[in-house]
Structure 1
């Protein structure tokens, strides 16, 4: 009886479980973005790795972070359930941060090899830990509410704010400790943040993380073999599809690794991104309309790759620019370079409600552009951001260029992110048949993984004035920062234009879905 009364109360607002998951995710994102804020600087300043190698390590790490949620989601669905997966993932990530702490503790000594080995161990734990944590906590947000509850959209907005609040605070704390005190304390604070996340979740989950009927969520595996809502087939790949998937990945991996000479992680990420969509689109149970809608998602994934390749320079080459080419003095004190990574999160908190209200207002006036139009605008804002900083990098004073240029870039890029990223997640949910939604969301993340890996590759081309030779890309000699940033203008601007031209065709293939 008490559960029933509590449910009546929660209808007036949001379940308390939402705020448990908000706090859990806040501290997990604090841990992730705190580490990311200082990782490149740690590799180049303490481990003395060159920028090209550090960039490729960064790209592999952030790419694999978006690859492992496929494993974590599968393990939760089949064996562990959401709760156990979240706790195991959080524990692995905390251990990973502590290994980075020990790595940084040894980096200044004679045994640099041990420091690098500990770094690899820490990254491995972070990659797998994130895979178990990330997909499962997001899934539980929706499970707090009844089906078709109008509060769900607002709930995910609140949850998204938790992500960005953590991402805002992390560089300010971990970045300050890492750059101004010692890198090891930056990593340690990230590890402590992850432990706080685990304690909050463990102490409150039984009481508050419950469904509308008062039953605890995520205790056991999901019943994936139950009949789906559309009555066609079980969720997940069939044994035949799984065989094709694994065989295809092995084949493409071999071609890329031994044939094209790509590194092992790039070959794995690219192989999965190429094969995954093919396996779903060839499913024999798909109708013509379903296939058309899935093709829309797959085609837009190509543009999503270019978006994240350019956007994720925030933790890579743009950190180099903030550290070496930007005058960071404010009121006589120098701001740590890592602080710039808080700007995107701060702008999201400020701009997300405005842009959300804009879409609602346009819809009320009968103006509701389909997702591809909005995403083409997102790419256009990305191009404008790089054009802005390219102008600022033409003539850099000896003391460094003004912070206005990086601030303006992050402002424009945040608008681009809000036009593309949440719109993409919503589009995947709307266009995918119910029996494939989880799998297609995982495949959508593969595009982000590929974009992150390519971000590291592009960051390795960052021109170093201390070197006598300049990197080349597609026949272009990157002899200045202006040339370097204009390459991103070209990529994102061309992607924006091509997607815009395809929008009318894609709209027809969506068959009435907006």
Structure 2
């Protein structure tokens, strides 16, 4: 972990104030490295997952089932981010939750590394649980390093932290993907476990540089609440155990008995949470209006992620079958395509930041709603581009540059929608639901991936031109609709731009 030579930028009382990390509190280096290694393990495993599921030497599943499993896995990770944040707030505190999460993720990857098909899905479950526990809490600890929202270093700190995410995501397919595809699938999963182990070790060693607030449980459960929560959890676990025992005993069990309920939950939970917030009589008229406006952003984000996340499943399986992965006579692993997005993010993020700043100085920066509309249109265009290699690949191979172009369109759309979505969520959240609304934003990913999973489960071939064209048209039309109703949405947003 490198430190900055500048030693006067940390404020008194900040952990590690005598040493800094690029001008930021020393604890940022710990969290940067933890997140980098966790993302290395996560994206490395994710790059292998759809390919392993369809490979004859893997599980040998059909493409539709593989896409459904992938979608369920990703949607579950984001679904569990809300209870993960709850554990940090009410049970263990952020620091302890992240340490436990890292251990669970590492255990999950080790289970995936076992050469037995029977334990594979249990390994996926462990990784999903650990990722959900870690996701919200590590970001919370980054915020703890600074002196509140007004600290001028805060936004820069999150930017540095975000670079750790993309560094891990960029390197993972190149390393884990190569070993998994070229040497042994399970050795690739084992490398993911090693990555998480490295992240966990350095987190435990460097945790002395974190804020003391990260060890505090902000709102601990009372004895009565703890007993009630445990009782409810045990009842639901008992119901699930009895139900699935009956299903298995009667010979009716298939993978759909797990996947379909998870996908339905992925759709029902986001709608239920938003409806509960909207019905709260304690909210002021202004807060109610902002929640109504936020629903537009939530639905738009769900459509966006439904298409965007297929970059790791539908596109990956297409590339495995129909893309010429040779450069100058040398064959590279198909999983390497998963490194295109993070490297584009790192290259284009400063460009977008400069553009928005330049336009803002001239009073011409697009509003949040216009940026969202642009993001939707771009992700729709990416699938219109996808139609071209789909048609050209009929019985043959197409250039890898088609995949790069598709990811370029998706990444530009991501940079217009994702950072803006995080920002607008914090601005439009009612004070009473400030923390929960960030979980609601992650649930948009859950909803989008749940739709993809349900389509695949019920036999929709997502690599067919008609389906791809329909998804592309849906995104573009949604973007146009958001733009057409931008004035109405702006009124609902109140003082938020």
> Aligned match of 1:25 in 35, 56, 78?
35
State the Cα deviation string for residues 246-293 of structure 1 (Å, max 9, x = none): 99xx9xxxxxxxxxx981111211111111001111112211111111
Distance 2:194 2:456 in 1: 30
Hey, what does 1:393 align to over in structure 2? 390
Distance 1:267 1:399 in 2: 37
Note if 1:500 corresponds to 2:496. no
Hey, what does 1:345 align to over in structure 2? 342
Hey, what does 1:157 align to over in structure 2? 159
State the SS of the aligned residue for 2:110: helix
Hey, what does 1:513 align to over in structure 2? 496
Distance 1:279 1:343 in 2: 39
Shift of 1:367: 1.6
TM-score, normalised with respect to structure 2 = 0.86
State the Cα deviation string for residues 65-123 of structure 1 (Å, max 9, x = none): 00111111111111200111001111000000000000xx23xxxxxxxx1x2111101
Distance 1:263 1:285, change over 3 A: same
Distance 2:454 2:378 in 1: 22
Distance 1:184 1:401 in 2: 29
Q: Contact conserved, 1:317 with 1:459, CA < 8 A, in 2?
A: no
Distance 2:323 2:419 in 1: 31
Note if 1:428 corresponds to 2:430. no
State the SS of the aligned residue for 1:393: helix
Q: Contact conserved, 2:37 with 2:195, CA < 8 A, in 1?
A: yes
Distance 1:125 1:507, change over 3 A: same
Distance 2:299 2:394 in 1: 38
Note if 1:96 corresponds to 2:108. yes
State the SS of the aligned residue for 1:48: coil
State the Cα deviation string for residues 371-426 of structure 1 (Å, max 9, x = none): 11101100111111111221232222755101111100001100000101110000
Q: Contact conserved, 2:298 with 2:441, CA < 8 A, in 1?
A: yes
Note if 1:307 corresponds to 2:317. no
Hey, what does 2:61 align to over in structure 1? 49
Q: Contact conserved, 1:308 with 1:455, CA < 8 A, in 2?
A: no
Distance 1:61 1:5 in 2: 36
Hey, what does 1:37 align to over in structure 2? 47
Distance 1:8 1:336 in 2: 45
Shift of 1:369: 2.3
Q: Contact conserved, 1:62 with 1:449, CA < 8 A, in 2?
A: yes
Mark the runs of 5 or more structure 2 residues left unpaired by the alignment: 1-10, 222-227, 240-256
> Aligned match of 1:362 in 359, 370, 375?
359
Hey, what does 1:377 align to over in structure 2? 374
State the Cα deviation string for residues 398-457 of structure 1 (Å, max 9, x = none): 551011111000011000001011100000001113331111111121111111222334
Distance 1:100 1:6, change over 3 A: closer
Q: Contact conserved, 1:316 with 1:459, CA < 8 A, in 2?
A: no
Shift of 1:485: 2.4
Superposition RMSD in Å = 2.7
Q: Give the number of aligned pairs.
A: 456
The residue correspondences of 1:282-301 to structure 2 (distance < 5 A) are: 282-301=279-298
Q: Contact conserved, 1:79 with 1:220, CA < 8 A, in 2?
A: no
Note if 1:62 corresponds to 2:74. yes
Shift of 1:499: 1.1
State the Cα deviation string for residues 158-216 of structure 1 (Å, max 9, x = none): 1111101100111111110111111011100000000011011000111x112xxxxx2
The residue correspondences of 1:166-177 to structure 2 (distance < 5 A) are: 166-177=168-179
State the SS of the aligned residue for 1:133: helix
Shift of 1:484: 3.5
State the SS of the aligned residue for 1:394: helix
Q: Contact conserved, 1:391 with 1:482, CA < 8 A, in 2?
A: no
Q: Contact conserved, 1:312 with 1:455, CA < 8 A, in 2?
A: no
Hey, what does 1:220 align to over in structure 2? 216
Distance 1:273 1:2, change over 3 A: closer
Distance 1:187 1:56 in 2: 20
The residue correspondences of 1:157-236 to structure 2 (distance < 5 A) are: 157-206=159-208, 208-210=209-211, 216-223=212-219
Shift of 1:10: 5.5
Distance 1:396 1:218, change over 3 A: same
Mark the runs of 5 or more structure 1 residues left unpaired by the alignment: 107-114, 211-215, 226-238, 251-260, 462-470
Distance 1:513 1:143, change over 3 A: same
Distance 2:66 2:75 in 1: 14
Distance 1:4 1:128, change over 3 A: closer
Shift of 1:12: 8.9
Distance 1:4 1:61, change over 3 A: closer
Hey, what does 2:248 align to over in structure 1? none
